[in-house]
A and B are shown apart, each in its own frame.
Chain A
Amino acid sequence: MAVYRRSSRPRFVLLLLVLTAITLVTVDTRGSGGGITGSVRAGAHDVFAPVQSATHAVLRPIGDFFTGALRYGSLKKENSQLRDQLAQARGQALQASDAQRQLQIIAEQNQLPFVGSIPTVTAQVIDTSSSNFEMSIQINRGTANGIAVSMPVVTGGGLVGRVAQVSAHRATVLLLTDPTFSVGLRLTTNGAVFVADGQGQGKPLTLELVDANTKVNVGDKLVTSGLNLAEYPKDIPVATVRTVQSQPGQLQQQVTITPTADLSRLEYVRVLQWSPQS
């Protein structure tokens, strides 16, 4: 009797669940992430956002406590150094207030050199991806601040990624290293154009189809190509060449590149309000 009960009902439930899941996958794939499923995801992000921030606010100090306890000696030394620097800085601040005003004006005119006249939104990085198969970060700005899907995201170091999903007050930025990421690049030394693909966590990006005759050296810089209808504006620094391997007789070289922006410790990023049409 027990055997009979266990073999029928749970199986029926499983069948129902699997069919529902497959339907959802189909609907989402057909709508390519937009439509109903896209707005459901965005809604969930917005509902969860305040609770997530609160959780972080509560749990960060605990993590910091353990980090601090392990580094007590160096922190004490650093503390006294900082006190010293603070005293100096207070004095300098009085003299510097006028210089600072001037600097601010200059800075407003001259933002990041590669950004040019593109308007930007500065955002704080809140979380990293909760998955092991996705390289992304969450930022605390969304549609309410003028952010839209596929806008490029940069730091002082260069390109970080692009906005993959956006809700009212949150956005998910897909990093350069995500396996679904690809970007058109130009070698600054000779202007050759390539496509680079992300390879996942901790792995350098690779360049596609590098001709054996193209001169590529370790350390060469790569910037966004900005070709017609490219997804990114021109001349944003992206990466430096890390390794070049070419075997005799092969038509192509194997080239890996390292992003110039430090993707492992992102705190603030700038979203460029730019789209291929503009």
Chain B
Amino acid sequence: MSPEVAARIRLAGLLVLALLLQTTVVPDVRVLGTCADLMLLCTVCAALVGGPELGGLVGFIAGLMTDLFLTTTPLGLTALVFSVIGYAVGSIRRTMLQEGWLLAPATAFVASSAGVVLFVVAGVMVGQSQLTRMGPVGIAKTAMLVGLMNAVIAAPVCRLIGWAAAGTRRAPEASAEISSIAARHSPRRLR
């Protein structure tokens, strides 16, 4: 099995696991009525590790999987939002962001909050006006809480995605970054 196929299988496995958790136990842990969004977090982490192309692709797949378990919003809306977020995070990561232990949590906070707001905006554009029913304050609160909760679990999720995506050819020029991130996140490789 080529390293790329193996990486794809690992990534798909992680996404299915994330969806499983998101549809079962994650909604049980709510802070002020809001729960974390693992699929959005996976998108952000994939973009951090693999760049805009991997971010966009993982975002699309993760979003589509999320859409399958929603009822009121049309299929494809979350896929649209997550692929844009994945692409944006991947692009910004290359040009602007600095390495450091705060990279994953800080990006997860900003990108997840932006993802929630973008979901509402995109939803309203396709006629889902019920998404704004909670008002600007409610939307801001939800965005902040999703961002915070995703930031808390960002570091381990990034490590997992980094392990899964190592070997993918989606972003060849990012291979140095992937290996540096993988090395940073797994002490075993340092020995």
Contacts and interface: CB of A to CB of B under 8 A. Distances in A.
Q: Do A and B bind each other?
A: yes
Chain A: number of interface residues, binned into ranges: 35 or more
Contact of B80 (A21, A29, A44): A21
Contacts of A203: 134
Contacts of B35: 130, 132
Contact of B25 (A59, A165, A199): A59
Given A10-B87, A14-B52, A18-B83, A55 B24 contact: yes
Given A132-B34, A132-B35, A174-B72, A10 B53 contact: yes
A55 B25 contact: yes
Contacts of B20: 48, 51-52, 55
A106 B1 CA distance: 66
A63 interface: yes
Given A20-B60, A21-B83, A25-B80, A180 B130 contact: yes
Interface residues of B, number: 58
Given A29-B74, A132-B142, A45 B69 contact: yes
A14 B87 contact: yes
B186 interface: no
Contacts of A132: 33-35, 37, 116, 142, 146
Contacts of A37: 74-75
In order of increasing CB-CB distance, the 8 nearest A-B pairs are A24-B76, A21-B80, A179-B130, A179-B133, A28-B74, A10-B52, A44-B68, A10-B53
Interface string A126-137: 011111111010
B23 A180 contact: no
Interface in B70-117: 70-77, 79-80, 83-84, 87, 90-91, 94, 116
A56 B24 contact: yes
A229 interface: no
B66 A18 contact: no
9 contacts: A6-B51, A6-B94, A10-B91, A21-B63, A37-B74, A51-B20, A130-B35, A133-B119, A164-B72
B88 to A, nearest CB: 9
A202 interface: yes
A71 interface: no
Given A44-B68, A164-B71, A128 B76 contact: no
B80 A22 contact: yes
Contacts of B73: 133-134
A131 B70 contact: yes
A90 interface: no
